[in-house]
Amino acid sequence: MSQARIDLSSSPLSQWNGPLGLPDFSAFDDTAFEPAFDAALAAHAAEIDAIAKNPDGPTIDNTLRPLELAGDALSRISSIFWCRAGAHTNEVIQGLERKISPKMSRHFSAIAMNDDLFARIDALYVGREKLALDAETDRVLEKTWKGFVRSGAKLLPEQKTRLAAISERLALLGAQFGQNVLADEKDWALYLDDGQDLAGLPDFLRTAMAEAAEARGHKGKYAVTLSRSIYEPFTTLSDNRPLREKAFRAFTMRGENGGEADNVSTVAETLALRNEKAGLLGYETYTAFKLDDTMAKTSQSVMELLQPVWEKALERAGEDQQELQRLAAAEGQNHAIAAWDWRYYADKLRTEQFDFDEAEIKPYLQLKQVIAACFDVAGRLFNIEFEEKPDVTAWHPDARVFEVKNPDGSRRGVFAADYFARPSKRSGAWMSALQSGYHLGGGSEPIIYNIMNFAKPPRGEPALLSFDEAKTLFHEFGHALHGLLTEVNWPSVSGTSVSRDFVELPSQLYEHWLTVPEILKKYAVHYKTGEPIPAELLDKVLAAQTFDAGFGAVEFTASALVDMAFHTAGKTPDDPIRFENETLRDLKMPDAIAMRHRTPHFAHVFAGDGYSAGYYSYMWSEVLDADAFAAFEESGDPFDPALADKLRRHIYSAGGTADPEDLYMAFRGRMPKPDAMMKKRGLVT
């Protein structure tokens, strides 16, 4: 099908005629994407050309407004495609991703470096004080101007050409990196037989492993996969040390196995191009470039956060390691605690200290109940309701669709969720949007989705979550609420369009409501008996929230520090793996703990540019979320109506309409200190 035959006004990829304003996923196949992209790119380029060449002087209405609304078809097609690329890919989609990523980069580089267009934006920005703009419009104009400058609008022609080439290459490298990790995850499985192979494994994990094996054509076997929903409980509970080591090595070597899926050279080239890009734009390092548009502003500010946490984490982890070594010795094991031993003995230590383990709590955490808890909290805080629409289909049969309603019954938006792991889905958990919410022009209702990778149970049986998985679900739903509750005029500041080190506040803050006792008492019910979680067990669960704090802080902070080291060095390491090892050696990284994300599979940082020089953002936001929830604790009511109203107006609904510090100050009345975060993590008392 050629580009000439694509009519964007009737294409099901750009004209969404499905229920609830969704695309009709049954109305097109994978071959429709490429010609639709080509047509939409051409249409968007024509819109941009018309704005840039408008003979009238620039105004908000003839320049900024149409620029914000341009490319609607491209946005719609892109949102479907990137959803599929992450959540339900195949060889056709992956091939298109490698073609479309650089093509999109070329397209947006051309827009950013359009001299006529930038001249109009520049004139508006320079004369903005005379325009009497409202605060949101003024911020959008400023962000737009800065976006052009940061994309090379002020560079010399030959510099623009080079920057565009760099951006195009980085887009392809990011796509390849993510696909390589997925290939390693999809291709590896450890198939086990009943008996000694399964020693120590509880029924819920055996069931999940049997289901995973059957899905891969090995019925009757039990599969250890590289999905965290199986890998982590296996390395926590398996009595078979050699098998734990095999799983650990496979998990940590993703992207570093040689062959076509190896990411080491991809990382090296990515780092070199990022350094060159920063230099072209006048920055000493790539970190300086990335942090210039964040709350942190400088690498010094980031290190002032990370370094004290690292020191406390090392101290705490050292104390815990001695306890783990004691438990191993008591079993007659003389080996030093290795990285594939930590979770195993930590689980035993938790049982010793708190008299419960993962197998005891998991029967009380049914997926359907945790989802209901998420919705209930949202209703109590923000007065919205979720109604499932089981007859509405999305990109995969497992994806579920919910209509989100305001108190008067009107539709606020649509929420979709795809909870289970499968070979066609990349690992991890994330939130994204098929459509953002805003009021400009004809307006747009938000269509937001969450992706998870929980182990899928056999048909007819409930999915049971670990406590960490339940927190992940709350976390991603917090992001979803940030998108669903948005109340902005301009598309570019809608929902999660905020600085990287502020975007995790709504998600990490929402996690706190999972541990509110009245929520757990209501929704943590046994999947067989329906009995609520016993008060004694609930008390143990809550008391153990900071257990193994050193391990968690070390594995996260090591990843953040390596990310910062890569992008602050100012030069490209000859061997990224050696650089990683040397950085960890200098940090005195314990041998018994691995980074949460090693370099060859660090998708946050290398499968695109999202969290490069920015993985610290989770901890930066954690300082905010610990302090924010403390406001509810101080009020004595986790659902305090006045606080909930301020939280909605200034955090969840405000998007990027104001500086993040101003938004937080409007909610809390002051900026926080790291103390509450350190206490929440259990690193200080």
For the cut 50, the answer to whether the pLDDT of residue 3 exceeds it is: no
Asked whether the beta carbons of 359 and 237 are under 8 A apart, the reply is yes
Q: Which long-range contacts (CB under 8 A, 24 or more apart) does 248-254 make?
A: 248/339, 248/340, 248/594, 249/340, 250/188, 250/190, 250/226, 251/226, 252/339, 252/594, 252/598, 253/184, 253/600, 254/181, 254/184, 254/185, 254/226, 254/598, 254/600, 254/601
Is residue 102 located within the same domain as residue 220?
no
Distance CA 39, CA 5 (A): 9
Paired residues of 486 in beta bridges: none
The proportion of the chain whose per-residue pLDDT surpasses 70, expressed as a percent, equals 99
Instruction: Identify the CA nearest to 448 among candidates 496, 490, 388, 408.
Output: 496
Instruction: Quick: pLDDT tens for 560-594.
Output: 999 999 999 988 999 999 999 999 999 999 999 99
pLDDT value, residue 81 = 98
Q: Of these residues, 97, 476, 555, 580, which one is catalytic?
A: 476
pLDDT value, residue 36 = 97
Of 543, 570, 596, which marks where a domain is finished? Answer: 543
Query: Is residue 667 one of the residues assigned to a domain?
Result: no
Query: Is residue 339 one of the residues assigned to a domain?
Result: no
For the cut 80, the answer to whether the pLDDT of residue 303 exceeds it is: yes
Asked whether the beta carbons of 184 and 257 are under 8 A apart, the reply is yes
Instruction: Identify the CA nearest to 69 among candidates 163, 149, 140.
Output: 140
The count of structural domains within the chain is 3
pLDDT value, residue 5 = 62
pLDDT value, residue 673 = 87
Instruction: Decide the pairing of beta strands 222-224 and 190-192.
Output: antiparallel
Burial of 94 (0-12, 13-18, 19+ CB in 10 A): middle
Q: Which helix (H) or strand (E) holds 627?
A: helix 617-635
Instruction: Identify the CA nearest to 553 among candidates 244, 340, 318, 328.
Output: 318
Is residue 93 located within the same domain as residue 150?
yes
pLDDT value, residue 570 = 83
Please list, residue by residue across 509-544, b when 16 or more beta carbons sit within 10 angstroms of its beta carbon and e when fewer do: bbbbbbbbeebbeebbbebeeeebbeeebbebbeeb
Asked whether the beta carbons of 631 and 512 are under 8 A apart, the reply is no
Instruction: Identify the CA nearest to 597 among candidates 651, 637, 655, 555.
Output: 555
For the cut 50, the answer to whether the pLDDT of residue 4 exceeds it is: no
pLDDT value, residue 378 = 98
pLDDT value, residue 356 = 84
Instruction: Quick: pLDDT tens for 318-341.
Output: 999 999 999 999 999 999 999 999
Asked whether the beta carbons of 468 and 541 are under 8 A apart, the reply is no
For the cut 60, the answer to whether the pLDDT of residue 1 exceeds it is: no
Is residue 129 located within the same domain as residue 31?
yes
Please write down the HEC assignment for all residues of 167-194: HHHHHHHHHHHHHHHHHHHHHCCEEECC
Per-residue pLDDT averaged across 269-279, rounded?
Answer: 97
Instruction: Decide the pairing of beta strands 411-420 and 447-454.
Output: parallel
536 is catalytic: no
pLDDT value, residue 420 = 97
Is residue 89 located within the same domain as residue 143?
yes
Instruction: Quick: pLDDT tens for 409-459.
Output: 999 999 999 999 999 999 999 999 999 999 999 999 999 999 999 999 999
pLDDT band at 497 (very low <50, low <70, confident <90, very high): very high
Q: Between vectors from CA 659 to CA 656 and to CA 665, what angle results, nearest 5°?
A: 115
Provide the total of helices (H) and of strands (E) in the chain, helices listed first: 27, 7
Query: Is residue 65 one of the residues assigned to a domain?
Result: yes
If phi over 0 gives left and psi between -120 and 50 gives alpha, with beta otherwise, what is residue 209?
alpha
Is residue 371 located within the same domain as residue 498?
yes
Of 100, 133, 154, which marks where a domain is finished? Answer: 154
Across the chain, what does the average pLDDT equal? 96
Per-residue pLDDT averaged across 468-486, rounded?
Answer: 98
Query: Is residue 432 one of the residues assigned to a domain?
Result: yes
Instruction: Quick: pLDDT tens for 65-93.
Output: 999 999 999 999 999 999 999 999 999 99
Identity at 635, one-letter amino acid code: S
Per-residue pLDDT averaged across 49-60, rounded?
Answer: 98
* Structural domain boundaries, residue 248: 188-252
Question: What is the greatest pairwise CA distance in the chain?
Answer: 84
Instruction: Quick: pLDDT tens for 153-208.
Output: 999 999 999 999 999 999 999 999 999 999 999 999 999 999 899 999 999 999 99
Per-residue pLDDT averaged across 114-133, rounded?
Answer: 97
pLDDT band at 2 (very low <50, low <70, confident <90, very high): very low
Is residue 388 located within the same domain as residue 496?
yes
Is residue 142 located within the same domain as residue 227?
no
Distance CA 278, CA 269 (A): 14
């370094």: which residue's tokens?
307
- CATH of residue 48's domain is 1.10.1370.40
What backbone phi and psi angles, to 5 degrees, belong to 320? -65, -35
Query: Is residue 326 one of the residues assigned to a domain?
Result: no
Query: Is residue 338 one of the residues assigned to a domain?
Result: no
Instruction: Identify the CA nearest to 250 among candidates 348, 339, 317.
Output: 339
Is residue 149 located within the same domain as residue 196?
no
Query: Is residue 631 one of the residues assigned to a domain?
Result: no
Of 227, 252, 277, which marks where a domain is finished? Answer: 252
Distance CA 422, CA 21 (A): 27
Query: Is residue 135 one of the residues assigned to a domain?
Result: yes
pLDDT value, residue 680 = 86
Is residue 120 located within the same domain as residue 43?
yes
Is residue 148 located within the same domain as residue 216?
no
Is residue 12 located within the same domain as residue 147?
yes
Is residue 218 located within the same domain as residue 149?
no
Asked whether the beta carbons of 277 and 551 are under 8 A apart, the reply is no
Per-residue pLDDT averaged across 268-293, rounded?
Answer: 97
